[in-house]
Structures are given as C-alpha cells and as structure tokens.
C-alpha cells in the first residue's frame, strides 16, 4: 500500500512537539494512511487510519516488545481469543526516540464499561482470569527463562518496608493506630505465607497476568469480555493473581469472607492457609500510598481523598475480615 501523508492535522509547535514528531515518523514509515494520533497516557497512543484504529504502545527495549508480541500470539494459538493482537506492518520494528513501538488491534468498548461493582461482573472477570490461567499453564515451558518467576513474598516485603518509610506522611492523613494495625496485619500475613509457602508451591505454575485492575478487563461493543495489558506478566502459582483479584473485589463485597467463599474459582483456594494469610496483607493500601508518595502527589487533595477513604472508611470492615480469616485458620 502506498504511504500517504496525513490529512486534516493541526500541529502545535512547542505544545505537542513530541506527538508531532512521532506522527511524522509514523507517516513516513508505515504503509498506512494515518489520519490522527492521540495520546492516551505515557507511551500509549490511539492511532487512527483510514481503515482502522490501533493502540500504539512504546516499550523500553526490543525484548520487552517481542515478549508481548509472542505471548499474545501464543495465547491466540492456544485458544485464548479474549485478548488483543499485535500487527506488524514493516519488516523492522518501529523505533522512535529510544523506544520500540508495537501496533495493537483496537477493541471498541461497550458503553457499559466493566467494573467490579456487581457480583455478575466479578464472577465474569474471575472466570476469564481462570480461563487465562488454564491456557497459560500449557505455555509455561515455552516461556521459562523469558518471563521472570514471581517472588510474591519478596515483593510484599519490599512494599511493606517502603510503607514503613512513608508512614510519617501517611499518619498526617490517617490515625497512627490504624497504620499500626495495618503493619501488624502485614507482618502476620508474611510470616504465615512463609510458613505455609509449600501450599503455593504445590500448585502447577501458570503465566500470571500481574495487574488484574478492572481497567484491564475490556467489555467490547458485542458485550464480550477481553483481558488486556500483559506488561507485568510473570510465572508462578495462579494463587498470586487470585490474591490480587480478591483484594480488588473485596471492597465491593463489604469485605465478606462468606461472599468470597461462594465464588467459583476462589473457594478451593480458601482451604490453603497460605492463601488465607495472603488475604490478610493490605496490598492495596500499601501500593497506593507508596505510589502517591513516590510521585509527590500527596499534596493534591483530589489524589489523597480517595486513598484516605479507602484506608479509613473501610478499616472496620477490613478488620472484621482479618478476624474471620484468623478464625478460619485456627478452626
């Protein structure tokens, strides 16, 4: 196909200089008629051509891009079609200003976006995630040595230590007694996970998604659910993803262990003490406070208010949930 220059594009020197340069590079490199380029977030752009929409995503190096391309292709070949695919329009990878770029097929979203607010959607997301794990279990031998092995205990110990360093700032917004209890829960959780880590290791490894936030589940216009964004993939027991998924949905379930135990795909894991201890760890609170402090965004009331709400307003429900976990472990 003949390369065609852009149409109807307004350039803004000085304001959108990087996008202008990237746009010019793409127009001169891709065999597509490019109409528009919009930034979605850092290193992610919406690319509109005369025929299709694509997501253009930048990666720090070529191996990272190749892993993403190969993994999504492997998923499709193994029968997991509920994700996007990469398109390659040139013989050589797109390389612009120290980043390699991949073109990802755009999934048009349904006006009703996926959330964790309804039990139906929580069940649907869990089913898709477990299907993903069933597929990636077969792919582990192919990606050993290519995708890193997950060490959740180390990751959570590091997150705990960072939160301890940040505690003085957190206590400016959150009562000290609350952060004291959060730290106590984390210590108990990590000690229990270490003691019972054979529970984790006894389960067959899968390729983990690593970031099961609701925005990585896309509801298409045809109402099908897709799983996207594999930047944080690693190899480990499915329990690790399921702990994160549980942590994401529990705030919408009033932190009810009973409700969690009724979900197919989680009930079996609630017989493992390692998983029960993992549920005690306040991963969401530590992650979000550490992130906002690292970005120096804790002076921004709009950024801090939801996090204070997460920490304080749900504290008693979370505490009752911890007690129910302790009772289940000791029963």
On the question of pLDDT at 5 being above 70, the answer is no
Within a domain: residue 157? yes
Tokens of 289: 């406070």
Average pLDDT over residues 14-43: 91
Tell me, what's the pLDDT at 14?
A: 44
CB within 8 Å of 18: residues ≥ 6 apart: 97
pLDDT given for residue 277 in this prediction: 98
Mind giving me the DSSP string for 29-40? HSSSBEEEEEEE
Residue 165 lies inside a defined structural domain of this protein = yes
Q: 98 with 133, same domain?
A: no
Whether 100 and 156 map to the same domain: the answer is: no
Q: Given 76, 105, 134, which residue is the final one in a domain?
A: 105
Asked whether residue 126 falls in the same domain as residue 238, the answer is yes
Residue 11 domain flag = no
Q: How confident is the model at residue 160, as a pLDDT?
A: 98
Region label for 148, one of left (φ > 0), alpha (ψ between -120 and 50) or beta (otherwise)? beta
In terms of domains, do 162 and 247 share one?
yes
Among 62, 79, 105, where does a domain finish? 105
Q: Supply the CATH number for residue 199's domain.
A: 3.90.1200.10
Q: Is residue 3 a part of any domain in this protein? A: no
Same domain, 217 and 146: yes
Is the per-residue pLDDT at 15 higher than 70?
A: no
Domain count of the fold of the chain: 2
Question: Mean per-residue pLDDT for 25-44?
Answer: 95
> Is the residue at 113 inside a domain?
no
Containing structural domain, residue 66: 17-105
CATH number, domain at 38?
A: 3.30.200.20
If asked whether residues 201 and 313 sit together in one domain, one would say yes
* Average pLDDT in the chain: 93
Q: What is the pLDDT of residue 9?
A: 41
Tens-place pLDDT, residues 187-237: 999 999 999 999 888 899 999 999 999 999 999 999 999 999 999 999 999
Is it the case that residue 4 has pLDDT exceeding 80?
no
Together in a domain, 62 and 138: no
Per cent of the chain over pLDDT 90 is 93
Which residues, 6+ apart, have CB-to-CB distance to 78 below 8 Å?
Answer: 135, 138, 139
Using 50, 70 and 90 to split pLDDT, how confident is the model at 6? Answer: very low
In a domain, 235, yes or no: yes
Overall average pLDDT of the 105-130 stretch: 96
143 and 168 fall within a common domain: yes
What pLDDT is stored for residue 286 in this prediction?
98
Cα distance between residue 183 and residue 161, in whole Å = 10
Domain match, 164 and 286 both = yes
What is the model's pLDDT at position 284? 95
Does any domain span residue 9?
A: no
Closest CA to 280 of 318, 330, 327: 318
Answer yes or no: do 62 and 194 share one domain. Answer: no
**Structure-block tokens of residue 200:** 């984790």
5 domain residue, yes or no: no
Q: Which of 77, 105, 133 is where one domain is finished?
A: 105
Reported as a single tens digit per residue, the pLDDT across 182-197 is 999 999 999 999 999 9
Strand ranges in the chain using DSSP code E only, listed in sequence order: 34-41, 44-49, 53-59, 86-87, 94-96, 99-105, 205-208, 217-219, 225-227, 234-237
Average pLDDT value for residue range 73-82: 98
> Tens digit of pLDDT for each residue in 260-299?
999 999 999 999 999 999 999 999 999 999 999 999 999 9
* 269 & 164 share domain: yes
What pLDDT shows up at residue 331? Answer: 84
Statement to judge: residues 124 and 97 lie in one domain: no
């Amino acid at each position: 196909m003949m390369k065609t220059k852009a149409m109807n594009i307004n350039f803004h020197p000085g304001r959108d200089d990087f996008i202008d340069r990237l746009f010019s590079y793409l127009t001169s490199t891709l065999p597509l008629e490019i109409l528009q380029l919009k930034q979605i977030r850092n290193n992610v752009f919406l690319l509109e051509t005369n025929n299709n929409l694509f997501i253009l995503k930048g990666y720090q190096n070529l191996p990272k891009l190749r892993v993403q391309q190969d993994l999504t292709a492997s998923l499709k070949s193994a029968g997991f079609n509920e994700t996007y695919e990469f398109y390659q329009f040139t013989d050589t990878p797109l390389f612009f200003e120290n980043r390699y770029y991949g073109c990802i097929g755009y999934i048009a979203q349904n006006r009703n976006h996926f959330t964790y607010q309804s039990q139906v959607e929580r069940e649907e997301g869990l089913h898709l995630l477990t299907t993903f794990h069933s597929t990636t279990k077969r792919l582990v031998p192919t990606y050993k040595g290519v995708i890193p092995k997950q060490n959740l205990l180390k990751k959570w110990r590091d997150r705990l230590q960072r939160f301890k360093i940040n505690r003085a700032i957190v206590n400016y917004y959150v009562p000290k007694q609350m952060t004291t209890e959060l730290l106590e829960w984390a210590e108990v959780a990590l000690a229990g996970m270490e003691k019972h880590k054979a529970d984790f290791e006894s389960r067959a490894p899968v390729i983990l998604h690593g970031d099961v936030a609701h925005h990585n589940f896309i509801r298409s216009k045809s109402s099908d659910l897709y799983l996207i964004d594999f930047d944080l993939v690693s190899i480990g027991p499915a329990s690790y993803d399921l702990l994160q998924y549980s942590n994401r949905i529990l705030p919408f379930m009033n932190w009810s262990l009973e409700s969690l135990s009724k979900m197919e795909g989680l009930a079996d894991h609630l017989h493992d003490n390692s998983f029960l201890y993992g549920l005690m760890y306040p991963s969401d609170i530590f992650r979000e406070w550490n992130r906002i402090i690292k970005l120096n965004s804790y002076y921004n009331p709009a950024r801090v208010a939801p996090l204070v709400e997460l920490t304080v307003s749900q504290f008693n429900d979370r505490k009752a949930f911890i007690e129910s976990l302790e009772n289940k472990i000791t029963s």
